[in-house]
Amino acid sequence: REMAADATKAIQEAVETAEVAKVAALNACKEAAKLELDAAVREAKERVQREHAAEVEAARQHAELERQSEIAELRRVAEEMKVGAVADALRSAHEEKLVELAEVRRAVEL
């Protein structure tokens, strides 16, 4: 009878130990899962940040190209205006000289 009681006590202790081990194992699994989830979330955030940074850089480069294109167009228009202004000034000076020449011819004819 005493041996049966000892065996029962040993079985109960083994069951309790197993339950404690089971709880510890479950807690360890939960902690491992939490760490894995945290790592996955961190990696996802980093990836999103990298992608966002790449998008921002692409947008900046696009804006810079547009700005350079606009500057080139403004320079071209300014050059055309300058050439047009020079041509107008030359035409005006030429017309003035033609008027002066006509006046000189009239004066000579008189």
pLDDT at 110 over 80: no
pLDDT at 92 over 80: yes
pLDDT in tens, 63-90: 999 999 999 999 999 999 999 999 999 9
pTM: 0.51
pLDDT in tens, 22-59: 999 999 999 999 999 999 999 999 999 999 999 999 99
Q: What is the pLDDT of residue 38?
A: 98
How far apart CA 49 and CA 56 sit, in angstroms, is: 10
